[in-house]
Amino acid sequence: MDTEIKLKGDKVIEQIPSIKDKALRINLNENIYGTFAEIGAGQETVRHFFRAGGSSGTIAKATSAYDKEFSDSIYGIEADGRYVTESRLKKMLLHEGELIEKRLSRKKHPNKMFFCYANTVATIDFAKQFKGHGWVGIHFQIEPDEGYNEIILHIRFKETDVRLQQETLGILGVNLIYGAYYKYNDPKKFLRYLYDHLDKDQLEIDTINFSGPRFKDVDNRLMSLQLVKNGMTDAVIFDPEGKNILPAAILYKKNILTLRGSFRPVTKVNMDMYKESLKMFLDENKVDAENTLVIFEITLSNLRSDGEIDEKDFMDRAELLCSLGQTVMISNFQEYYKVVEYFAKYTKARMGLAMGVNNLVDIFDEKYYRHLSGGILEAFGKLFYRDMKVYLYPMIDENGIIINSETLKVHPRMKELYKFFKYNGKVVDITNFNPKNLEVFSREVLKMINENRSGWETMLPTGVAQIIKEQELFGYKPNILMEKSN
C-alpha cells in the first residue's frame, strides 16, 4: 500500500480546488439551484458549470439579454440609459430571484437553496483605450427557510484582450459562487479566494458590499480596507453611512478637495482646516459647490503600527469621520503626487490639497522620490499639473512663532523650486484660522485619552468626545471612581 512520504521541514500547503472541481462540487450538491444571467462578455461563468458535469442539478436557467430593448423589457429602463451599472445588476438579481421563487414550488423543493448569479460587463474597446469594467453579484440562500444574502462587487479589467477578459470573468464568477456557499463564514478570507487561479495583474476589485442575514455583522468599511491591504485595488471610498462607493461614480468630473491625515482622532485643527480650505477652494474660478467633493484620505502607511495594520484603530477613525458626515478614502499611496494622479484618472476639473506646514516640508524632501527616474521634478510635474493648489494651514513652533508659506524652511537645494511654486500661486496660506487650534496635536490628544487624563474633550469637534466615550474608541476607558463620585 502506498503511503504519502512526509519529510522534516515540510510545510502545510492549502490546497486550492481547481475551477472545474469548484463547479462540480456546486453541481453535485442537489440543494444548490439557481439562475445565471450574464450580459456583455459571453456566458463565461455558466460555461464552467455546464462543462463540469451534473449541471442539470444546479442550473435552473442561463440567460443573456444582450439586446438593449430585450434587456429593458426584462429588467426595466435605467434612468441614465447605461447598462453596466450597479443599479442594472441589482435589478437583474432581484428579477431573476423573484422568478425562481415564483416558478419553483417550495412544497416540491423544500430543501433547495436558491441563488441568482448575475454580471453586466463592458470588455475592452477596439481602440484599446478603455480596458473595460463590470458589476458582478450573487443573491443566495444558505438555508431554504432563510432570507437572501447578497455580495456585489465592481471589477476593472487589466488585460488588453477580449478573450482573456472573458476567461478571467468566468473564473471570478465560479470563485464568487463557490465562495458564497463554502467561504461565507469568513469574509476576509473570502476576498482572497476570489483571486484563486487569477492574478492581480488580470483584475482589480475596487468595490465590494456584503448584505443579508449571514453578513449582518460585516462592516463593509473593514472589507474596503481589506481590498487595499490585499493589493486588490489602490484606493477605496466609502460614504458617511459606511457603504462602499464606486470611485469612478463619485469622482467623475468632480472638483476634488482632499485632506490627508491620521485622524487619530479627528481634532478641531482637522475640521478648521477643512472648513477654511473649502471656502477658499469654492472661491476659485470654475469651482461650484454642487460639483465639489471633499475627501478625507487615510493612507495605509498611517494605519500601520509595528508593520501591521490595526483594524480596530482604523474603524475608530472611520467611525468619527463618518459621524461628522465625511466621505473617506483609504489608499496605499504614500506620496501625495500619487493621490493626484489617481484622481486625474476620473476628473479634469480643479483639485486642491489641504495640509499642514510639516506635510508640505516633507513633500520637498528628495528622499521620497529616489525611485522615480525623474526624481522630485517628475513627482512635482504630476503633483502640480494643471490647476492643482495646496491650501496651507499654519503651525506654531517651540518659540510660539506662527509658521506659514512665507516663513517655512525647506532644504537649501529645494529653496528655488519651492519659491517657483509659491510665486505661481500653487501654495496659498489659510489665513482665517483659530490660533488656539495651533496648540492641538492628535498624538497629544490620543496620549491623554489612553492615560485617562481630562481636558482632551475641548480639543475635538462638537459631539466627537461623546462618541469616543460611549463607544470606548482609541482605548478610552471610563474612570469608574470619578463617575461614582459624580
Give residue-wise pLDDT tens across range 272-330.
Answer: 999 999 999 999 988 899 999 999 999 887 777 666 778 888 888 888 998 899 999 99
C-alpha cell of residue 439: 496648540
Torsion of CA 222, 226, 228, 229, to 10 degrees: 120
The percentage of the chain sitting over the pLDDT mark of 90, rounded to a whole number, equals 64
Average pLDDT over residues 244-263: 92
- Which pLDDT belongs to residue 398? 83
Classify the C-alpha dihedral 409-414-416-421 as positive or negative: negative
- Which pLDDT belongs to residue 196? 97
- Which pLDDT belongs to residue 286? 85
CB 153 within 8 A of CB 173: no
**Please, which pLDDT band fits residue 482 given cuts at 50, 70 and 90?**
very low
Helix 68-75 × helix 86-103 angle, to 10°: 60
Give per-residue pLDDT as tens, 379-432: 888 888 767 899 999 999 888 889 999 999 988 888 998 899 899 889 999 999
CA distance readout (Å), 420 to 352, 384, 386, 427: 18, 11, 15, 10
Q: Give every CB contact of residue 126 below 8 A, 6+ residues apart in sequence.
A: none
What is the enclosing helix (H) or strand (E) of 151?
A: strand 149-157
Half-sphere exposure of 77 (CA within 13 A, CB side): 4
User: What's the 3-state SS for 12-57?
Assistant: CCCCCCCHHHHHHHHHHCCCEEEEEEEECCCCHHHHHHHHHCCHHH
- Which pLDDT belongs to residue 483? 47
Give per-residue pLDDT as tens, 113-149: 999 999 999 998 776 778 899 999 999 999 999 999 9
Give per-residue pLDDT as tens, 9-35: 888 877 899 999 999 999 999 999 999
Q: Give every CB contact of residue 450 below 8 A, 6+ residues apart in sequence.
A: 474, 475, 476
- Which pLDDT belongs to residue 484? 44
**Please, which pLDDT band fits residue 485 given cuts at 50, 70 and 90?**
very low
**Please, which pLDDT band fits residue 480 given cuts at 50, 70 and 90?**
low
- Residues forming a β-bridge with 237: 245, 329
- Of the listed ranges 72-76, 265-269, 292-296, 480-484, the least confidently predicted one is 480-484
Q: Give every CB contact of residue 354 below 8 A, 6+ residues apart in sequence.
A: 257, 258, 259, 273, 274, 277, 390, 391, 393, 430
Nearest to 283 by CA among 435, 438, 422, 430: 430
- Which pLDDT belongs to residue 389? 93
- Find where cell 438579481 sits: 93
DSSP label at residue 246: -
- Which pLDDT belongs to residue 242? 81
Residue 259 has pLDDT above 60, yes or no: yes
User: What's the 3-state SS for 167-196?
Assistant: HHHHHHHHHHHHHHHHCCCCHHHHHHHCCC
Give the chain's radius of gyration (CA, Å): 26
Rounded Cα gap, residues 210 and 140, in angstroms: 12
Residue 101 has pLDDT above 80, yes or no: yes
CB 464 within 8 A of CB 323: yes
